[in-house]
Amino acid sequence: MGALRLPSLTSIFAVSSARSSLFHQRSNQLHLRKLTSATAKSTSPAVAPAESSNQKLPVQEQGITPRSQDFNAWYLDVIAMAELADYGPVRGTMVIRPYGYAIWEAIQDYLNVKFKETGHSNMYFPQFIPYSFIEKEASHVEGFSPELALVTVGGGKELEEKLVVRPTSETIVNHMFTQWIHSYRDLPLMINQWANVTRWEMRTKPFIRTLEFLWQEGHTAHATPEEAEKEAMQMIDVYTKFSYEEAAIPVIPGRKSRVETFAGADRTYTIEAMMGDRKALQAGTSHNLGQNFSRAFSTQFADENGQRQHVWQTSWAISTRFVGGIIMTHGDDAGLMLPPRLASVQVVIVPIWKKANEKNEVLDAALSIKDILHTAGIKVKLDDSDQRTPGWKFNFWEMKGVPLRIEIGPRDVSSRSVVVSRRDIPGKLGKVFGISMEPSVLVPYVKEKLDEIQLSLLNKAIAFRDSNIVDVTSYDELKEAISQGKWARGPWVGSDEDELKIKEETGATIRCFPFEQPQGPKKCLMSGSPAEEVAIFAKSY
Amino acid sequence: MGALRLPSLTSIFAVSSARSSLFHQRSNQLHLRKLTSATAKSTSPAVAPAESSNQKLPVQEQGITPRSQDFNAWYLDVIAMAELADYGPVRGTMVIRPYGYAIWEAIQDYLNVKFKETGHSNMYFPQFIPYSFIEKEASHVEGFSPELALVTVGGGKELEEKLVVRPTSETIVNHMFTQWIHSYRDLPLMINQWANVTRWEMRTKPFIRTLEFLWQEGHTAHATPEEAEKEAMQMIDVYTKFSYEEAAIPVIPGRKSRVETFAGADRTYTIEAMMGDRKALQAGTSHNLGQNFSRAFSTQFADENGQRQHVWQTSWAISTRFVGGIIMTHGDDAGLMLPPRLASVQVVIVPIWKKANEKNEVLDAALSIKDILHTAGIKVKLDDSDQRTPGWKFNFWEMKGVPLRIEIGPRDVSSRSVVVSRRDIPGKLGKVFGISMEPSVLVPYVKEKLDEIQLSLLNKAIAFRDSNIVDVTSYDELKEAISQGKWARGPWVGSDEDELKIKEETGATIRCFPFEQPQGPKKCLMSGSPAEEVAIFAKSY
């Protein structure tokens, strides 16, 4: 079968290393355009030139920039060629295409069950928030006002009060909570919504940072600070478990520094993931909001003694950004690599025939294998198109990140067996011949392989992460680690100013104080003072 | 057990018939405020006075206006007291509360499977659309421009081109389709999105017509007009089947008149439902868009001969409005009545004890029944709170529309049996004593009853519908039927002007030309000319 293999998509174009990706070209265009108009009129252009969106080459004529060569160009190429997303007509917006949206649906399916198991109900709040609401919580308005999109005209008339398109919903949630919460019997109130949110970001990147994105936002109100803290921790645990078990991303859970805490929260917990270029991605957060919003909005309850008290609150979110995290954690030069548990296609079947008289028997066998796997609950696709050679299909589905490929040709039909290839182990090493078509053999074999791939992706990511975290004891060591592109972990009791100085001088920020802390006495890497905790510093998205 | 029953929620307050519902009061306030400010400044107020939202009485102190007395007040009372929705702070917006959102989730769960089975993929388009897009399709801009919400400021700066918050997505979908469709091999392209949409409506009503609502919108592109027509028909069939089988709403599927066709469509198919007040509700639509949008946006493909052609398109949608349709189809004086297949609680268990020593054994039995039903896949809730009497709970869960109630007291525990009451049959007639607790008896009994209720709701709605449709042969008969609050069905070949005249004179519009047509020669009820079809006329929401 090796003879049928086409040159890989990447090798075809690897020579033209100066070629930048389509996404890249368009980003640059928009960037230049932005700079020009900003100086000219101090207004920001909302709409990309319509022609720019028609420059796209058909997938098959274009290769992926090797990851090792240019991580950013690779990322944008994978998104374009695997048809995960596309730019929308408005600057910084993204169209999530079916293959990318299916990853988000898999994330939703898992989390939705977990949220309900932990006592939350789904509901929906309006996305238009009176501007005055945003101003009620002091640090919240400071954090969000530069990023707001405002509706000023409705039904042809100018509005008396401009409306904020929600950047997050704490304010409107509290406004409604005041109407639903009367006594301690109404608590805890634990809800979640799946929604779109808008933040007017200047530098955007598909999935990672877009003007509009999809997320879930949980909001809870409790009678005591202890319950709120327990809830905030519970939800960061749900996110951590999801990341490890479903996404095969070994995130590091921890607490944000004061500087990095959410605008309006007492404490922010985070899961930090190491991408393939070793930059950190904040992949989910859970906030203990204390009484900041309940005081701003007078969200009160009568306790068991009839005393009025402000509720204690949390909020927590994971967004479509996580899809970007999956791409950048597992992908390689050949393209996307999806963890089996989140893949919408777990197994692709590629039938192979040379002569016309072989076609029917091969397709019949392929179809019956598809049925067997489908019945066993495995997400399987049969690529039976006449348009492409098997070699082209191999590369295409590798690029799309499908975990397992089943090849079946005339000789396989005779021997009633198939060839199984793993996406995560390239070439012959990942290929096993002669797996019986018998359902009692094939089904458990495929399931076992999918589990192995899931675990293997996680272990590979753990090894990569651990080999790129350096324990440091001084600022010099920290600078050295960061300059090598690594994460630095060291004891920290520095001030907010020290933290901002490090950001300015190295580009790295405190990603978190990890929950898992080394034992024994520690001295702050900056001041030498006794420190209670280590912090992780890294450059980030 | 009858002795424990409290006076019903409605009967307590039935005397004060002048009392209007909370929703009603607030609507009036907003309405007055709108009129005042409109004359004063010719701007429309976006935000309701903050105090108005704190007027709400606790559920238990307030009764539901009887449906027979004031249908609109009843509807708003049910929404408030069953905690289905609440007003948002911005005029015309709605917060969908967990119990109401669960109905929407049940709708989503069913339709999402059907959409995928019929070959559609979910994806997501940005909600911000350049204003210029809306202007490209002539009738589309005419239909939607009065209802648009516009974002004019982003990130603190005025935008060069104002952005429309999507009222529907045909324009942006076509903009993207031009980039994805190249040849006939890319067709059919069949996608769907679950999203929020915004239409700046002046007269709003929870679920039925709100500034922002949730929906699914399907969009497809085909190579031939026949395929597009087939798709548009297929999707109205999916909606019809859903309405009958899941929602127990006997909608009448048919074709809209030219006057009522979607702005930008060649043909609109609709499902029309008769509400409890006999007004019609357009509960879902499917549009054959022809080439209207593909010509406006140059959405073309190369056919098998290499010729460029414009694609043929459809779009179709069902929204949170459907939840309003469920409330207004099945509800009665006691409140909501949910069809079992869409109920988030299908069975409520109410334990009953008088003496403290009875409590434990009753609760133990109730809990084991809950487990039995839950294990059998039945959505069950045990109301074991100490706060309320059983009689209060009976009324509360009836008001919430739970299809089946299981009562269990000390004597039931001794006899190892329970009492089962149907929501749809009031009083003793709907109550059966002595149903064994044995899983092998109880589970099939409960399932059978749920099926019976589902069918009974549908049959009742069919009987109600059919007894309120009058066949008419003249305009006088039509006027008579409409003035009695009924639907009029009669032969029609009238002009658009005739249709608009009827609307002006009677308040009724053509709801549809039903697919099911009587045989034989017909004469237009208006002109007496030979007619090929009957149309249904009715007042509508």
How does pLDDT run across A185-203, given as a tens digit for each residue? Answer: 999 999 999 999 999 999 9
So what's the pLDDT on residue A55?
39
Using one digit for the tens of pLDDT, what is the confidence trace for B309-323?
A: 999 999 999 999 999
Flag if A196 and B196 touch (Cβ within 8 Å): yes
Distances (CA, A) of B157 to A42, A305, B162: 8, 51, 12
The phi, psi pair for A334, rounded to 5°, reads -80, -10
Flag if A130 and B47 touch (Cβ within 8 Å): yes
Flag if A94 and B185 touch (Cβ within 8 Å): no
Flag if A160 and B126 touch (Cβ within 8 Å): no
Separation in Å, CA of A430 to nearest CA in chain B: 31
Flag if B44 and A94 touch (Cβ within 8 Å): no
d(Cα A284, Cα A247) in Å, to the nearest integer? 13
The phi, psi pair for B267, rounded to 5°, reads -145, 140
- CB neighbours of residue A115 within 10 Å: 21
Residue type for B160, please?
E
Using one digit for the tens of pLDDT, what is the confidence trace for B424-441?
A: 999 999 999 999 999 999
pLDDT band at A141 (very low <50, low <70, confident <90, very high): confident
Which residues of chain B does A43 touch, with a Cβ-Cβ cutoff of 8 Å? Answer: 157-160
Distances (CA, A) of A87 to A50, A195, B71, B541: 11, 20, 48, 38
> Of the candidates B406, B276, B247, B430, which has an alpha carbon nearest to the alpha carbon of residue B339?
B247
Look-up of token digits 């790129």: A468
Flag if B89 and A43 touch (Cβ within 8 Å): no
Which of B30, B123, B323 is the best substitution to test chain A (most A C-beta atoms within 10 A)?
Answer: B123
Separation in Å, CA of A126 to nearest CA in chain B: 6
Q: Is the pLDDT score of B101 beyond 50?
A: yes
Using one digit for the tens of pLDDT, what is the confidence trace for B252-265?
A: 999 999 999 998 99
Does residue B83 come out as left (phi exceeding 0), alpha (psi in the -120 to 50 range) or beta? left
Does residue A51 come out as left (phi exceeding 0), alpha (psi in the -120 to 50 range) or beta? alpha
Mean pLDDT of B280-289: 98
Domain spans, chain A: 71-330, 347-450, 469-539
Among the residue ranges A121-130, A466-475, B13-22, the one predicted with the least confidence is B13-22
Instruction: Answer yes or no: are the C-beta atoms of B40 and A160 closer than 8 Å.
Output: no
Query: DSSP letter string over B350-407?
Result: EE--SSHHHHHHHHHHHHHHHHHHHHTT--EEE---SSS-HHHHHHHHHHTT-SEEEE
Helix (H) or strand (E) holding A407: strand A404-408
So what's the pLDDT on residue B141?
83
**B-chain residue closest to A387, CA distance:** B185
Give the tokens for residue A532: 């209670």
Which of A36, A124, A189, A220 is the best substitution to test chain B (most B C-beta atoms within 10 A)?
Answer: A124
Separation in Å, CA of B157 to nearest CA in chain A: 6
- Opening angle at CA B332, ends B5 and B383, nearest 5: 45
Mean pLDDT of chain A: 90
Between B151 and A41, the higher pLDDT residue? B151
Rg (CA), chain A: 26
Distances (CA, A) of B243 to B217, B240, B339: 17, 5, 11
Separation in Å, CA of B53 to nearest CA in chain A: 7
Alpha-helical segments (H) within B246-298: 292-297
Instruction: Answer yes or no: are the C-beta atoms of B344 and B106 closer than 8 Å.
Output: yes
Residue type for A432, please?
V
d(Cα A77, Cα A75) in Å, to the nearest integer? 5
For A310, residues 6+ apart whose C-beta sits below 8 A from its C-beta are A291, A294, A295, A298, A299, A300
B96-135 burial: b if 16+ Cβ within 10 Å, else e: bbbbbbbbbbbbeebbbeebeeeebbbbbbbbbbbbebbe
List A192's β-bridge partners, or say none.
A122, A218
Using one digit for the tens of pLDDT, what is the confidence trace for B206-230?
A: 999 999 999 999 999 999 999 999 9
Does residue B364 come out as left (phi exceeding 0), alpha (psi in the -120 to 50 range) or beta? alpha
Query: DSSP letter string over B293-310?
Result: HHHHHT-EEE-TTS-EEE
Q: Is the pLDDT score of B14 beyond 50?
A: no
Flag if A124 and B95 touch (Cβ within 8 Å): yes
Which residues of chain B does A54 touch, with a Cβ-Cβ cutoff of 8 Å? Answer: 178-179
Distances (CA, A) of A251 to A114, A142, A412: 18, 29, 42
**A-chain residue closest to B57, CA distance:** A179
Between B498 and B142, the higher pLDDT residue? B498
List A154's β-bridge partners, or say none.
A157, B149
Q: Is the pLDDT score of B62 beyond 70?
A: no
Q: Which of A54, A179, A202 sits opposite B155 (nearest CB)?
A: A202
Query: How many residues are listed for chain A in this entry?
Result: 541
**B-chain residue closest to A154, CA distance:** B149
Look-up of token digits 């240019």: A70
Which residues of chain B does A149 touch, with a Cβ-Cβ cutoff of 8 Å? Answer: 128, 151, 153-155, 163
The top-level CATH class assigned to B469-539 is: alpha beta
List A513's β-bridge partners, or say none.
A255
ipTM of the complex: 0.90
For A76, residues 6+ apart whose C-beta sits below 8 A from its C-beta are A21, A22, A23, A24, A27, A206
Using one digit for the tens of pLDDT, what is the confidence trace for B466-482?
A: 999 999 999 999 999 99
Instruction: Answer yes or no: are the C-beta atoms of B146 and B265 closer than 8 Å.
Output: no
d(Cα B471, Cα B536) in Å, to the nearest integer? 9
DSSP A430: G
So what's the pLDDT on residue A46?
60
How many CB pairs lie under 8 A apart between chains A and B?
234
Separation in Å, CA of A478 to nearest CA in chain B: 35
Helix (H) or strand (E) holding B311: none
pLDDT band at A48 (very low <50, low <70, confident <90, very high): low
- Selecting from 2.60.40.3080, 3.40.50.800, 3.90.78.10, 3.40.920.10, what CATH number does the domain B347-450 have? 3.40.50.800
Using one digit for the tens of pLDDT, what is the confidence trace for A245-272?
A: 999 999 999 999 999 999 899 999 999 9
Model pTM score: 0.90
What is the fold, at CATH topology level, of the domain defined by B71-330? BirA Bifunctional Protein; domain 2 (3.30.930)
So what's the pLDDT on residue A47?
58
Flag if B172 and A89 touch (Cβ within 8 Å): yes
Q: Establish whether the linkage from the previous residue to A188 is cis, with ω within 30° of 0.
A: yes
Flag if A165 and B165 touch (Cβ within 8 Å): yes
Using one digit for the tens of pLDDT, what is the confidence trace for A266-277?
A: 999 999 999 999
B272-302 burial: b if 16+ Cβ within 10 Å, else e: bbbbbebbbbbbbbbbbbbbbbbebbebbbe
**A-chain residue closest to B189, CA distance:** A98
Distances (CA, A) of B324 to A408, B41, B103, B195, B315: 53, 34, 10, 18, 22
Instruction: Answer yes or no: are the C-beta atoms of B249 and B325 closer than 8 Å.
Output: yes
Instruction: Answer yes or no: are the C-beta atoms of B171 and B125 closer than 8 Å.
Output: no
Give the distance from CA B11 to its chain's centroid. Answer: 28
Q: Which of B101, B147, B160 sits opposite A123 (nearest CB)?
A: B101
Flag if A152 and B153 touch (Cβ within 8 Å): yes
Alpha-helical segments (H) within B402-525: 410-415, 439-466, 475-483, 496-506
Flag if B151 and A154 touch (Cβ within 8 Å): no
d(Cα A318, Cα A321) in Å, to the nearest integer? 8
pLDDT band at A374 (very low <50, low <70, confident <90, very high): very high
Reported as half-sphere exposure (CB side, CA atoms, 13 A), residue B313 has a value of 31
* Cα dihedral value B47, B48, B50, B54, nearest 10: -150
So what's the pLDDT on residue B387?
86
**B-chain residue closest to A83, CA distance:** B180
Give the distance from CA B434 to its chain's centroid. Answer: 37
Flag if B148 and A155 touch (Cβ within 8 Å): yes
- CB neighbours of residue A422 within 10 Å: 18
Query: Same CATH fold, B347-450 and B71-330?
Result: no
For chain B, how are helix, strand and coil distributed in percent, rounded to 5?
A: 40, 25, 35
So what's the pLDDT on residue A346?
98
Query: DSSP letter string over A3-50?
Result: GGPPPPHHHHHTT-TTPPPHHHHHHHHHHHHHHHHHHHHS-B--B--G
So what's the pLDDT on residue A39?
35
d(Cα B199, Cα B214) in Å, to the nearest integer? 11
Separation in Å, CA of A158 to nearest CA in chain B: 6
Using one digit for the tens of pLDDT, what is the confidence trace for A157-179?
A: 999 999 999 999 999 999 999 99
Alpha-helical segments (H) within B165-224: 170-180
Separation in Å, CA of A208 to nearest CA in chain B: 15
Separation in Å, CA of A399 to nearest CA in chain B: 19
Q: Are strands A149-154 and A380-382 parallel, antiparallel or unpaired?
A: unpaired
Flag if A156 and B179 touch (Cβ within 8 Å): no
Helix (H) or strand (E) holding B108: helix B98-117
Give the tokens for residue B383: 């109301």
For B278, residues 6+ apart whose C-beta sits below 8 A from its C-beta are B468, B485, B486, B487, B538
